[in-house]
Amino acid sequence: MTTSDWKKMFTQLDFKPIKKAKYIKFNSPAARSCGRALRKCQNCGRLGAHINKYGLHICRQCFREMAVGLGFKKFS
């Protein structure tokens, strides 16, 4: 199971309603009020290396691809 999409199993479990209910009960992610799990990349869903500055909310890998389009300029 990946953190990006815990509902991937639903395609298999749609044929087993009781097992699906059990899966939802024990495997659904808890509702968070704070923490790094809230700060996911809006582009790819990655948790690490998150850039909050300027309200970007993207990871460093996506920033590297989008930076020029956003108006950032590399000086070195």
Is 59 one of the binding residues for Zn ion (CB under 5 A)?
yes
Q: Is 60 helix (H, G, I), strand (E, B) or coil?
A: helix
Instruction: Give the shortest CB-7-to-Zn ion separation in angstroms.
Output: 20
Name which position in 6, 20, 39, 43 contacts Zn ion (CB under 5 A). Answer: 43
- Kind plus residue range of the DSSP H or E element containing 64: helix 60-70
Compare residues 41 and 56 and give the one whose CB is closer to Zn ion. 41
Whether residue 28 contacts residue 43, with contact meaning beta carbons closer than 8 Å, is answered with no
Residue type, 71: G
Asked if residue 40 lies in contact with residue 46, where contact means CB atoms within 8 angstroms, the answer is yes
Least distance CB 29 / Zn ion (angstroms) = 19
One residue of 40, 50, 56, 62 binding Zn ion per CB under 5 A: 62
Q: Is 56 in the site for Zn ion (CB under 5 A)?
A: no
